[in-house]
């Protein structure tokens, strides 16, 4: 392990040709970085600055460009008169003399008033909107192409995506659905018991889970799971130029990447909704038995009366729409990622946040559109 001596500066006020300063030790970045060497040296250099002194560097045992630069800056970027150098040190200062005048270009100042910032935000929003609409348009064309020649469609990709986004999400959706069902049932039971309305627990749970919570829960989980992975996958494909390679071979991004994901989520989301619904209801049912003593037989026999079939259909419809939206949003952000790590991280975050927001917005639209249906 290379070790170093501490860099030193010694002032000799009574030398023959006026006051002189002798530098010694190791003037290398590693020596300067050790302990308090840097603070001591800069302090000494500052106190010497105004003095007209003779510099003697011949006692320095080894030097590098950073050490030389430190002295050079203290001298005000000129060679002091009567400088004494050891052989070999000349090179450092020659190089510093040729490069000393280099200036860093000023980065362009960001002088934006809030009006301009708002303007840019609006422009960015419109850019995203046009991009999204283009994506939907492309998807429509691809779907048409798929319908006309289904035997040449990307079946393998679709099936792989159903496996990843649907089958592999079964575990987490079951767990979260079950727990939410338990909690919801437990809390509602306590309230309902206060009014003596225990038997309405079935109506409350059935309605809220099947119509609202099941689809929303599944969608949020899928947005976090598959949405982020889709965006990251497309982003990495951009970074590694795979997207360009596909274009060069004449393979359309829309047909081979976007459409399979959209179709896969459109198929697997409603199935996940059914799955989450049933898990949440099982959770609620168990909790109801423990808390209120409602038997599962009663719960199940009461369910069809409490929840009209229309609600179930609305839930499935929501599943399809949410799935399509999640796939589109994550593809949209994935394809916009620029080839660097920061953009990849930011794109993935934005994609998940946007997908969840869009899902909740769509849920609100559903609530308004179907406000008279299923009661």
Partner 1 sequence: MANDALVPEKACGPGASTGELTLDGSVPIVDITGLWTKYGRTVVHQDLNLEIEQGEIMSIVGGSGTGKTTLLRQMLGLERPARGCVRVFGEDISEIGSAQLQQLRNHWGMLFQQGALYSALTVFENIAQPMRELQVLPEDLVRDAVLLKMNMVGLGPEHAIKMPSDLSGGMVKRVALARALALEPKLLFLDEPTAGLDPDLSEAFVSLIKSLHRELGLTVVMVTHDLDTLFALSTRIAVLAEKHVIALGPLQDVLKVDHPFIKEFFLGDRGRRALEALDEKTLDEKTNKDH
When asked if residue 204 is in the footprint of partner 1 (CB under 8 A), the reply is: no
Size of interface with partner 1, in residues (CB under 8 A): 35
Task: Choose one: 95-103, 109-117, 121-129, 316-324; the region binding partner 1 (CB under 8 A).
Answer: 95-103
When asked if residue 38 is in the footprint of partner 1 (CB under 8 A), the reply is: yes
Task: Choose one: 97-105, 134-142, 276-284, 350-358; the region binding partner 1 (CB under 8 A).
Answer: 97-105
Is the CB of 71 or the CB of 266 nearer to partner 1?
A: 71
The label of the residue with tokens 């393979």 reads 251
DSSP alpha helices (H): ranges in 85-169?
90-99, 114-148, 155-165
Is the CB of 146 or the CB of 333 nearer to partner 1?
A: 333
Is the CB of 70 or the CB of 176 nearer to partner 1?
A: 70
The answer to whether the beta carbons of residues 89 and 54 sit under 8 Å apart is no
When binding is defined by CB under 8 A, the residue of 12, 13, 33, 187 that contacts partner 1 is 33
Task: Choose one: 92-100, 285-293, 297-305, 318-326; the region binding partner 1 (CB under 8 A).
Answer: 92-100
When asked if residue 237 is in the footprint of partner 1 (CB under 8 A), the reply is: no
The answer to whether the beta carbons of residues 59 and 47 sit under 8 Å apart is no
Closest distance of CB 46 from partner 1, Å = 11
The answer to whether the beta carbons of residues 267 and 166 sit under 8 Å apart is yes
When binding is defined by CB under 8 A, the residue of 30, 128, 145, 302 that contacts partner 1 is 30
Closest distance of CB 61 from partner 1, Å = 10
The answer to whether the beta carbons of residues 315 and 323 sit under 8 Å apart is no
When asked if residue 95 is in the footprint of partner 1 (CB under 8 A), the reply is: yes
DSSP alpha helices (H): ranges in the chain?
29-33, 37-48, 65-74, 90-99, 114-148, 155-165, 170-195, 201-207, 214-222, 228-239, 242-248, 253, 259-292, 296-306, 309-336, 341-369
When asked if residue 6 is in the footprint of partner 1 (CB under 8 A), the reply is: no
DSSP assignment, residue 84?
B
When binding is defined by CB under 8 A, the residue of 10, 47, 99, 130 that contacts partner 1 is 99
Distance CA 265, CA 360 (A): 17
Q: Give me the 44-83 binding string for partner 1, x by CB under 8 A, dash otherwise.
A: --------------------xxx--xx-xx----------
Closest distance of CB 71 from partner 1, Å = 11
Distance CA 24, CA 62 (A): 9
When asked if residue 96 is in the footprint of partner 1 (CB under 8 A), the reply is: yes
Is the CB of 91 or the CB of 305 nearer to partner 1?
A: 91
Is the CB of 2 or the CB of 250 nearer to partner 1?
A: 2
Look at residues 243, 247, 224, 225 and name the one whose alpha carbon lies nearest to residue 234.
Answer: 243
Is the CB of 91 or the CB of 127 nearer to partner 1?
A: 91
DSSP string, 263-292: HHHHHHHHHHHHHHHHHHHHHHHHHHHHHH
Q: Identify residues 323-362 at the interface with partner 1 (CB under 8 A).
A: 338-342
When asked if residue 102 is in the footprint of partner 1 (CB under 8 A), the reply is: yes
Residue 317: CB atoms within 10 Å: 15
When asked if residue 39 is in the footprint of partner 1 (CB under 8 A), the reply is: yes
Closest distance of CB 33 from partner 1, Å = 4
Q: What 3 state SS string does 211-225 have? A: HHHHHHHHHHHHHHH
The answer to whether the beta carbons of residues 192 and 198 sit under 8 Å apart is yes
Q: Give CA torsion, residues 362, 364, 368, 369, to 10 deg.
A: 20
Q: Name, in order, each residue with C-beta under 8 angstroms of 173's C-beta and a sequence gap of 6 or more.
A: 217, 218, 221, 222, 272, 275, 276, 279
Is the CB of 191 or the CB of 240 nearer to partner 1?
A: 240
When binding is defined by CB under 8 A, the residue of 11, 15, 29, 207 that contacts partner 1 is 29
**Residues of the shown chain interacting with partner 1 in the complex, contacts defined by CB under 8 A:** 1-4, 28-30, 32-33, 38-39, 42, 64-66, 69-70, 72-73, 91, 95-96, 98-100, 102-105, 107, 338-342
């Amino acid at each position: 392990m290379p070790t170093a001596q501490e860099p030193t500066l010694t002032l000799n006020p009574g030398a023959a040709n006026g006051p002189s300063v002798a530098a010694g030790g190791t003037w290398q970045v590693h020596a300067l970085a050790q302990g308090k060497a840097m603070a001591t040296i800069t302090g000494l250099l500052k106190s010497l600055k105004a003095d007209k002194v003779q510099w003697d560097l011949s006692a320095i045992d080894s030097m590098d460009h950073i050490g030389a630069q430190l002295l050079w800056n203290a001298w005000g970027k000129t060679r002091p008169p009567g400088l004494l150098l050891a052989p070999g040190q000349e090179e450092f200062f020659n190089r510093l003399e040729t490069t000393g005048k280099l200036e860093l270009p000023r980065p362009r100042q960001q002088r934006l008033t809030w009006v301009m910032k708002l303007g840019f935000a609006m422009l960015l929003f419109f850019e995203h909107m046009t991009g999204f609409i283009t994506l939907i348009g492309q998807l429509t064309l691809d779907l048409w192409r798929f319908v006309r020649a289904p035997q040449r469609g990307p079946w393998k990709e679709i099936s792989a995506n159903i496996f990843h986004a649907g089958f592999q999400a079964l575990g987490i959706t079951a767990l979260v659905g079950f727990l939410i069902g338990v909690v919801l049932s437990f809390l509602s039971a306590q309230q309902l018991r206060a009014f003596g309305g225990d038997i309405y627990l079935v109506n409350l749970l059935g309605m809220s889970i099947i119509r609202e919570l099941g689809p929303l829960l599944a969608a949020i989980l899928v947005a976090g799971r598959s949405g982020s992975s889709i965006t990251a996958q497309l982003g990495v494909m951009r970074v590694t130029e795979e997207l360009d390679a596909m274009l060069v071979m004449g393979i359309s991004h829309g047909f081979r990447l976007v459409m399979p994901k959209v179709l896969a989520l459109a198929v697997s989301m409603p199935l996940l909704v059914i799955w989450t619904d049933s898990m949440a209801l099982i959770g609620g049912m168990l909790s109801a038995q423990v808390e209120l003593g409602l038997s599962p037989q009663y719960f199940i026999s009461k369910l069809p009366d409490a929840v009209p079939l229309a609600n179930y259909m609305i839930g499935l419809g929501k599943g399809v729409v949410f799935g399509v939206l999640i796939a589109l949003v994550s593809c949209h952000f994935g394809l916009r990622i620029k080839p660097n790590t920061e953009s990849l991280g930011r794109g993935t975050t934005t994609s998940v946040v946007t997908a969840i927001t869009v899902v909740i917005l769509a849920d609100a639209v559903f609530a308004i559109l179907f406000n008279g249906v299923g009661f």
